Every structure is written in C-alpha cells, then in structure tokens.
Structure 1
Amino acid sequence: MAERNVMLVLHDVAPETWNDYRPFVEAVDALGNIPMTLLVVPDFHHRNSIDKDPAFIQLMDQRLTRGDELALHGYFHCDDASSPSTPRDWFMRRVYTWEGEFYTLNQAQARERLNHGMALFQRFGWPLHGFVAPAWLMSEGTRRALSETPLRYTSDPQHFYLLPDHTRIDAPGLVWSARSPWRRGMSWLFSEQAARRHRKAPLLRLGLHPVDMRHDFSRRYWLDLLKRLMNEGRVPINKINWLNRHYLHERQAA
C-alpha cells in the first residue's frame, strides 16, 4: 500500500500568536520528529513586524532545523483596502472575514507585498517555496502576480496549486471555526465526518489557527486526531516535501 501522509499546518504564525501555539507545539514535539508547515505573517495586523523580534527569528531558525517548513502567509494579514462597494464584497470582507488581505489587490499591489515578504525571508536565510493568502482569498491580480514569482505553490482549503500555471491538486483539509462553543461543536462534527470520508486519501491536511489553541476542547482535538491518524499509519510530512515527492521533481525533470 502506498504511503499515506498527514500534514500539520499552523496558520497566522507571528510573535503575538506563538504563545497560543507554544503548548501545542511542545506536545507535538514530544511525540517525535513531526515536521510542520508554519504559515508566517511578516507584520501581523501592522503591529507585529518580525524583523524587530530577534527571539522570534531565532525560534523560526530552530523550527527549520527540526525539519519544519516556513511559508509566506500574506504580509499584514488584515484587509486594509477601501470599504466594500458591493453586497458580495461586503459579505466576503465583513461577514466571512476581516482578514482577506489579498482579496482586493490588483496585480501591482499584490506583487509589491509578495516581493516584500520574499525579501524578508531571504534576509533571514529562510527557504521559501509557498504562499498562502489570509483566509485563502485571492484576487485575480494576486494569482497573476504569484505566477511571476519563483514561488512553487499556493493552496486553498482543499487543494494545492502548482505555480506558475496554478495546476490544481486535490489535497483535502480539515479546519475549525473555534470562536464560540456551538462553532467548536459543529467543527468537531464536520471534522470527524471529513476524516472518515477521506480515510483512504493519500494526504490529509490539518489546518490550525491560534484561536483553536485558546480552547482546551479544540486544542485537545487536534492533538488527539494527529495521534489517531499516525496510529492508523499516516506519516507526517510538510507541504514542500510532499509536493517534491509527488509532483515538483517530475515537473522539473520534464
């Protein structure tokens, strides 16, 4: 039987969110060598510039040494564009999320923020292969800008997209909405259903957010689910290593 993998992805990684993640990451580290993909925000909500936090930079260096991958997750992770002008935009930017930073950007604006983020990674000596838009929302301008970069992939909740042509790859994922008790209860139900539905899928992604870590119920669920999936034979892997193994090396050879 071909190897089945599980992928642990931590969203919104920044100096102010790491304390939320710390106990969970320590518990995962205690399980053994489990590589993760950390989605790093260069300046979270305009108040958390990582280049002014040497301790955080050192921490990310240590995570890389352990085998984690760092990916670029927006730049500010907040929607600072002008007010919505249509009902659809109002819903997407004020009901669905307030953090869709790349939802309204034109190609030039997206290119500028991507370039700033890539330059930051380069300055710290952090390998960079992928970009994930905050709330997975991307304008057409952002997609075109991504195609101009040396980045190798982006993703949404259920797919990877190989760059530069945005070739789609099925990659089922689980994610919670943990801000209230009823949301956590529904998230548990949907996640259990999805885990059963995708039991034989070659890859299952677990997408965690800082708010998940602030509630014992959701934090314990993610750790218990990871253990269960590993006991069922799934092998932990980060994004770029999985893509290299199954897709990117073949593309380069062709």
Structure 2
Amino acid sequence: MGEVQDAPRSVMLVLHDVAPETWPDYQPFVEAVDALGDVPMTWLVVPDFHHRNALQHAPAFCRLLQRRLTLGDELALHGFYHADDGPAPRSPRELFMRRIYTHEGEFYGLDQAEAMRRLREGLAVFDAQGLPVKGFVAPAWLMSEGTRQALRQLPLAYTSTPQHLYRLPDFQAIDAPGLVWSARSAWRRGLSRVVSDWQCRRLAGASTLRLGLHPVDMRHRSSRDYWMNTLRTLIAQGRQPLTKSAWLERQLQP
C-alpha cells in the first residue's frame, strides 16, 4: 500500500526499554518534551526488565503509564524480560547475533510455542494493570520465524524493524526509517552523531522519521541533547509528531 501523498510529514518519538528502573533516566527528557507542547510518544515497555522490574510490583510506575495514555501517548510490548537467557548459541551466526551484536535479543531464537507463551503473558501483564497495548517490538528488533508466526495470531496492530513498520497480522511492510544511537562509550557516541547527521540529510525528504531513544542515551549530555535538538529541528521543519499507531492509521486513509 502506498503512502498518503497529501499527508504532512511526520516524526515518531519512540522510547525503548521502558521499565521502573529506567524511568529515572527518561524522566527529565520526557518533561522537556512535554514542555514543547503536543508531542505524543510511543513507549516500548518491558513487563519484567532483566527479571527484576515486574510491572505488577510497581503500582506507581503503572499509574504513570496510565497517565501518559491520557496525554495521547501509546504503549507497545517490548519483549518480556529484554534478556536473552536461552540455551548457548549453536552456530557462529548465533554466537555473533546473541553474544556479540547483543545480549538482549530475547526473541531471536524462540520457537513459535515459546514466543507465543511470552507474548501472551506479556499482554496479560498489561491487561491486569489496565494498560492497552497497540504493538510489539522485539528487543534489538530481532525476531525468529516462530515469533512472526505467533504475532500473526494476536490482536496487535504492528511490529517494527529499524527501517520498517509492519502492519499485523499480514506483515505488510511500510517504509518508516529510524535513527538510533549506540551511546555506551565516547567513540560510539561520536560515530553515532556522524551517522545520524548523515541519515538526517539523506532522509530529509522522507515522509516520516523515527527517533529511537534508549535509556543509555539519557545518561550522556551529548546524546541527550542531540535527540532534543533533532526533535525540535524536525518539528520546526513542519514534521508532525505522531505515535506509531496514529501514523499507521493515517496510511489507511484514502
């Protein structure tokens, strides 16, 4: 399906790895975004981040999420533990993807049954807290074929990879390029700035851009300021801030 040609250009602000222990990292940034005006955000929330952040044990945090929904934000399921605690890698490719590229590709190696179990349990956690969920994003965007098959059977609107949103259940791909930083070290932050600046120039004419933020970005002034300045610039250029589901609904318009 083609994009709506007459729709204004947009920007999606996406907060990854949202959990009780990462909220203090995000809080000052979210407050600064709120001060800009009407900027809805998509929050990728982990039901039990690293096995130590169970949402059902964090009522104050759940109330915060409920309040964000009333402000126009949306929630997406972001794995269950956001930690790859499966069996040891069995091939060089698995070793690279699960131990070098990331240690958090929770859904990279799951078969359909286990993926379905975690997805259903994750959705049940949100439902028990009265928190509606629009989509699913796999940690590190890594999904097994079993995960894809499980997602086809669930009442979710979308999933995503770094360059696309996929409308579920048929996995219809829609271009939605994203920017993301690797902020764990000074040299990574420097390289991320160069790459992101280049991408912003290359994608200046794109109908939408996704800004994919992580808690570690918020711990360094250079990355934190970069995201705020980029958001301000894109809005000043006429891009409308939208959540992922709002942007997808726009694509359905005639």
Same fold per TM (> 0.5)?
yes
1:2 positional shift: 3.5
Question: Is the CA contact (8 Å cut-off) linking 2:180 and 2:213 kept in structure 1?
Answer: yes
Take 2:158 and 2:244, find their aligned partners in 1: how far apart are those partners?
9
Residue in 1 that maps onto 2:149: 144
CA deviations 1:149-193 (Å, max 9, x no partner) are: 111110001001111111111101000000011100110011011
1:124 positional shift: 1.9
List structure 1 segments (4+ residues) > 6 angstroms apart after TM superposition: none
Take 1:196 and 1:234, find their aligned partners in 2: how far apart are those partners?
15
Residue in 2 that maps onto 1:120: 125
Residue in 2 that maps onto 1:23: 28
Instruction: In structure 1, list runs of 5 or more residues that go unmatched.
Output: none
Task: Give the one of 86, 105, 108 matched to 1:100.
Answer: 105
Residue in 2 that maps onto 1:9: 14
Where 1:3 maps in the other structure, the secondary structure is: coil
CA deviations 1:11-34 (Å, max 9, x no partner) are: 000000000001100110111111
Residue in 2 that maps onto 1:183: 188
Take 1:129 and 1:151, find their aligned partners in 2: how far apart are those partners?
6
Where 1:196 maps in the other structure, the secondary structure is: helix
Task: Give the one of 218, 221, 226 matched to 2:226.
Answer: 221
Q: TM-score, normalised by structure 2?
A: 0.96
Take 1:19 and 1:32, find their aligned partners in 2: how far apart are those partners?
21
Q: Does residue 170 of the first structure (1) align with residue 178 of the second (2)?
A: no
Share of identical aligned residues, percent? 63
1:227 positional shift: 0.3
Take 1:165 and 1:54, find their aligned partners in 2: how far apart are those partners?
35
Q: Which has the higher helix share?
A: 1
Q: Does residue 208 of the first structure (1) align with residue 202 of the second (2)?
A: no
Instruction: Output the amino acid matched with 1:26.
Output: E
| Residue correspondences, number | 249
Instruction: In structure 2, list runs of 5 or more residues that go unmatched.
Output: 1-5
Instruction: Output the amino acid matched with 1:89.
Output: E
Q: Does residue 61 of the first structure (1) align with residue 66 of the second (2)?
A: yes
Instruction: Output the amino acid matched with 1:44.
Output: F
Instruction: Output the amino acid matched with 1:244.
Output: E
Where 1:77 maps in the other structure, the secondary structure is: coil
1:245 positional shift: 1.5
Instruction: Output the amino acid matched with 2:193.
Output: W
Question: Is the CA contact (8 Å cut-off) linking 2:141 and 2:161 kept in structure 1?
Answer: yes
Where 1:28 maps in the other structure, the secondary structure is: helix
Take 1:144 and 1:2, find their aligned partners in 2: how far apart are those partners?
32
Question: Is the CA contact (8 Å cut-off) linking 2:55 and 2:125 kept in structure 1?
Answer: no
Q: What root-mean-square deviation, in Å, do the aligned CA atoms of Structure 1 and Structure 2 show? A: 1.0
Residue in 1 that maps onto 2:200: 195
Instruction: Output the amino acid matched with 2:33.
Output: V
